[in-house]
A and B are shown apart, each in its own frame.
Chain A
Amino acid sequence: MNYENFRRVEERAFYALVGVLGLIVLLGAGAWHYMEEHGHIVTGMSNQIVWGVPHVFAIFLIVAASGVLNIASIGSVFGKTVYKARAPLSGLLALAMLGGGLAVLMLDLGRSDRLIIAATHFNATSIFAWNIILYSGFFGIVAAYLWTMMDRRMKGYSRYAGFSAFIWRLILTTGTGSIFGFLVARQAYDSALLAPMFIVMSFSYGLAVFLVAQSVMYRWNGLTLDAAILRRMKNLLAVFVSAVLYFTLVYHLTNLYFAKQIDFERFILLDGGIYTTLFWLGQVVIGSLIPLAILFHPQWGMRSGAVFSSALMIIFGGFCQLYVFIIGGQAFPLNLFPGMEATSSFFDGRMAHPYAPSLPEFLLGLGGIGIAALIAVVAVRILKFLPQDDFSHLAKAEDLTD
């Protein structure tokens, strides 16, 4: 659409967007109510697949939330001006996504009405309980950080707040990865690589989400991202995606090295059905190789539309990766008696019955994305979150078409 025409309906477009996002959140709330009413029997989850699609959404949002803050850290901790201009938006997206992710995690509990118990009973040996502290702390620190950036009088503290947020987010992602790292009895999670792998995953998902949000905001305001900035950011994204791919490779190679893990690797890489497909097609091809090809391509890599699509593909690949990791990891049977074939009424010794996620599970997860998007959209409207570059060399969309 011609930008001048869009300006005229901009107000209405904003309310329409808020309306759509509100509807998504409402659908998620409805799905939660339905699950709460009937129990998890109405989901595809079972005693074998105990964490389903809601966890995939929740963990994606939480991991991406900590990763998106990376933009701000590059700005304040490492003093890069281009990123400094993007720090407020990065902080906002981090808060919004953490809020959405936590909501999904909490509403998927068997007894989500007992939230107060989760807050008052604390088991210090539980990494899960520690994560609750890490998440609340993240909210506090990032909110303070945003304040130091938005309020002139607080500017002096911005560096310190930024540094704390940087450290906190590294611990937070390690904590999220460790939720799985503690499950030593399950072959998918018995790897020392999980914590660093989650950190690079967060970098990649976070930057991809940031680029998507930034593109939409620029489009909406009729601006075009400066070519030099675009180049820097897409190169960084390519580096992160390559790093995730590298970690994935090392994770599977080290597993292949241990004889006891071979069957599990066979399952994921060769004959795991949906998990194998999602791994190769979803994570590797669509989520990594195609976007890498685009980002490294001398012409396509410099088109903002192409970078935007790559970011979307990377996000999609991230969902696939977490689906394979979380659900595929549970579908593979626990091996209680090495050297023996086991059968039972409880699926011992064989791949679980297929997990078929139900509609409410997806709606709950999408509701989490809805919450994050709604917070971001409304906040961007009220406060100044649009990256403030030196606009002297930026022009209206019509003039700049690289």
Chain B
Amino acid sequence: MSNMDKNRRQFIGVGVAAAAGLAIAPGVTLLDLAHARPADQAADSAKRWGMLVDTNKCATGCNDCVSACGKENGFGSTGHPETDPQWIRKIELKEIKSGKTHSLPMMCQHCAKPPCVDVCPTGASFKRADGIVLVDRHICIGCRYCMMACPYKARSFVHEETHDQNPDVPRGKGCVEGCTMCVHRIDRDQLPACVEACKAAGHEAILFGDLNDANSEISKRVATYASTQVRADLNLNTGVRYQGI
């Protein structure tokens, strides 16, 4: 558990560092990315938004979070999974030794030390003060280096013209995109679409909250139960955690 505490302390440090970085980002850009929050009000660096996925509650075959994400963010399947945007996907796992199975959603892990941000030549990939990793689609040149660098295959390249966009979520051909944790909803104090859909389906497998707030439900659960970061060996300090695998 002391390890968890250390991690939490790290989050705070990272939050402050990110806030310093954000001072450079013009407010206009932020407004474009998230229409809800006024331009003069920066993301709160005291927070670190995160998710905890309880794989014991996640149902094999249920795809509600995935559909909700597409609906919320304005994309759907064209029947070509290799080029369709897949901000979130369901992975079915089978332990090779025991045969035990798990089902879980995989999306951008909102790393505290995001490789996608490190490699991005223009700075289009960036981390908001509250830990959410985003792509500023106004300066993304579509080099796809971030996709090469992401260990989770969390990003998609927009291969063709976009239709039926949600005005809150600007998208465009030739840019890279990924899970925004529904930043436009968070800024309106709503839950991310996948979290809400999972709740509506009666599973409540995804818990959303502030990892920096010791009293939040997510922090308490992270402190009480064993949770894992996928590819913890890479030391990226992910904002999305898993329980039960």
Contacts and interface: CB of A to CB of B under 8 A. Distances in A.
B94 interface: yes
A19 interface: no
B161 A39 contact: yes
A337 B103 CA distance: 12
A128 interface: yes
Contact of B143 (A46, A109, A334, A336): A109
B102 to A, nearest CB: 8
Contact of B231 (A46, A117, A185): A185
Contacts of A121: 121-124, 139
A341 B176 CA distance: 28
A249 interface: no
A23 to B, nearest CB: 27
Given A110-B158, A339-B97, A47 B139 contact: no
Interface in B134-153: 139-145, 147-153
A293 interface: no
Given A46-B82, A117-B139, A346-B89, A122 B119 contact: no
Given A109-B143, A110-B144, A111-B175, A340 B123 contact: no
B156 A125 contact: no
B115 interface: yes
What's the dominant secondary structure at chain A's contact region?
Answer: loop
A347 B82 contact: yes
A340 B94 CA distance: 5
Interface in B99-114: 102, 106
B96 A341 contact: yes
B182 interface: no
Given A50-B148, A334-B151, A185 B234 contact: yes
Interface in A330-353: 330, 334, 336-337, 339-348, 352-353
Contacts of B150: 185
Nearest to B85: A47
A111 B173 CA distance: 8
B90 interface: yes
A132 B145 CA distance: 14
A47 B83 contact: yes
B92 A344 contact: yes
A355 to B, nearest CB: 9
A347 B81 CA distance: 9
Interface string B173-195: 11110000000000000000000
B174 A110 contact: yes
Most buried by A among B118, B120, B153: B153
A334 to B, nearest CB: 6
Most buried by A among B66, B84, B141: B141
Given A41-B159, A47-B83, A123-B122, A184 B92 contact: no
B86 A345 contact: yes
Contacts of B75: none
A48 interface: yes
Contacts of A330: 148
Contacts of B230: 336-337
B93 interface: yes
Interface string A118-137: 10011101111100100000
A159 interface: no
Most buried by A among B82, B119, B155: B82
Contact of B157 (A40, A122, A129, A353): A40
B122 A129 contact: yes
A342 B92 contact: yes
Most buried by A among B86, B95, B173: B173
B160 interface: yes
A187 to B, nearest CB: 11
Contact of A117 (B117, B122, B152): B122
Interface in A161-202: 179, 182-186
Contacts of A128: 119-121, 143, 145
A336 B106 contact: yes
B142 A47 contact: no
B62 interface: no
B145 A346 contact: no
A114 interface: yes
A337 to B, nearest CB: 6
B4 interface: no
Contacts of A353: 82
A340 B158 contact: no
Interface string A28-58: 0000000000111100011110110000000
A182 B119 contact: yes
A24 B15 CA distance: 52
A343 B106 CA distance: 12
A183 B149 contact: yes
A50 B144 contact: yes
Given A336-B230, A344-B90, A185 B141 contact: no
25 contacts: A38-B160, A39-B158, A39-B159, A40-B174, A47-B82, A48-B153, A50-B144, A109-B143, A109-B174, A110-B174, A110-B175, A111-B140, A111-B174, A114-B141, A117-B122, A122-B123, A126-B118, A126-B119, A127-B119, A128-B119, A128-B120, A129-B121, A337-B245, A339-B95, A346-B86
Given A125-B119, A346-B81, 5 more contacts: A41-B159, A45-B157, A110-B141, A110-B142, A128-B143
